[in-house]
Amino acid sequence: MGRPAKFTEDQILDAALAVTAEDGPAAATIGAIATRLGAPSGSIYHRFGSRDLLLATLWTRCAHRFQEGFVAALAAGDAESAALHTPRWCRAHLDEAAVLLLYRRQDLVGEWPDRFADLNRDSTDALNAFADRHPGLDHERLVFATVDVPYGAVRRHLLARRPPPPTVDILITTACRAVLPP
């Protein structure tokens, strides 16, 4: 029987998140993450096997955490709340938002592991189900109002490493109401 792990997967991912959010994906080396965590780099390689797998796992964790609220709002039949989930989540999870919304998966990981291939399935399914429950609703309008507008509204604030201000919510709400039928 081997020794119990000194660091959990979440602790390693939290260290990777901090390095990536502060200094960008190029700085997120196994060595930098190990230093941030106070762990030997071998411990990280033992848990994840490669930098690509570690950063893919991090990005996936961020995506799933974000998607939970987005999917729940759509399941509740509230497209406006789904759209407002983006700036609200960004305010509450600035580092995760920076990793998720500022860097494409290709920026983080050279070789994307197959097991993470269908990452947006839950969001896509939720958007499709919402559209199915609202006959006559144009799917492109739904995606524009709940995905494109919120993403565009928060991106420049995240680039400046600051949370989106509350006025962003007002603008997203205005756009939602203008684009989607009542």
In a domain, 3, yes or no: no
- How much is the pLDDT for 7? 86
| HSE of 141, CA atoms in CB hemisphere, 13 A | 15
Q: What tens digit of pLDDT does each residue of 120-134 get?
A: 889 999 999 999 999
In a domain, 1, yes or no: no
In a domain, 43, yes or no: yes
Q: Which CATH number covers residue 93?
A: 1.10.357.10
If you average pLDDT over residues 145-164, what whole number do you get?
95
% of the chain at pLDDT higher than 90: 65
Tokens, residue 46: 């033992």
Domain range for 85: 9-179
Residue 112 has pLDDT above 80, yes or no: no
In a domain, 122, yes or no: yes
Query: Do 81 and 177 form a contact (C-beta atoms < 8 A)?
Result: no
In a domain, 51, yes or no: yes
Residue 107 has pLDDT above 70, yes or no: no
Query: Do 144 and 137 form a contact (C-beta atoms < 8 A)?
Result: no
In a domain, 68, yes or no: yes
Gap between the Cα atoms of 69 and 75, Å rounded? 10
Q: What is the separation of C-alpha 11 from the centre of its chain, rounded to a whole number of angstroms? A: 18
In a domain, 146, yes or no: yes
Number of domains in the chain: 1
In a domain, 4, yes or no: no
Q: What tens digit of pLDDT does each residue of 40-84 get?
A: 998 899 899 888 889 889 988 998 999 999 999 999 999 999 999
101 pLDDT tier (thresholds 50, 70, 90): confident
- How much is the pLDDT for 110? 67
